[in-house]
Amino acid sequence: METVGLVGVGKIGLPISENLIKSGYRVVGYRRSSLAEFEKVGGIAGRSAADVGAWCRVPMGSSNRRAADRSSSSLGPTPSPTKSVTSLRLRPRVRSSSMAR
């Protein structure tokens, strides 16, 4: 079973985690506050962002930019060629004035 790590299992990361778990992935997650909801959907609670990075080949983050920068720098040593770090940070949709009605 492939393990995916997710730093930031809150409003955005929790549904992503739940979908990954339903699809057959083992998901290790971390957030600064409670991990109870995450564990309830079947996630494995990491003790830190570095712990998440140690568990998996592809750690991901779904936090605001400042928290994501802190978390990704906490994932441990520079990833090996078989490890990559993916950001799930969403950018707000910008509508041009010609599109707004």
Per-residue pLDDT tens digits for 6-22: 998 998 899 999 999 99
Contact 28, 3 (CB under 8 A): yes
Nearest 5°: CA angle at 30, between 42 and 11?
75
Q: How many domains does the chain have?
A: 1
Residue 100 lies in a domain: no
Residue 12 lies in a domain: yes
pLDDT band at 60 (very low <50, low <70, confident <90, very high): confident
Look up the CATH number of the domain holding residue 62: 3.40.50.720
How far apart are alpha carbons 33 and 9 in whole angstroms?
9
Can you give the residue range of the structural domain that contains 42? 3-80
Q: What is the pLDDT of residues 25-50, one digit of tens each?
A: 999 999 999 999 999 999 999 999 88
- Phi, psi (deg, nearest 5) at residue 45: -75, 125
Residue 87 has pLDDT above 70, yes or no: no
Predicted pLDDT of residue 101? 46
Return the sign of the alpha-carbon dihedral for residues 89, 85, 6, 47. Answer: negative
Nearest 5°: CA angle at 7, between 92 and 28?
135
Residue 89 lies in a domain: no
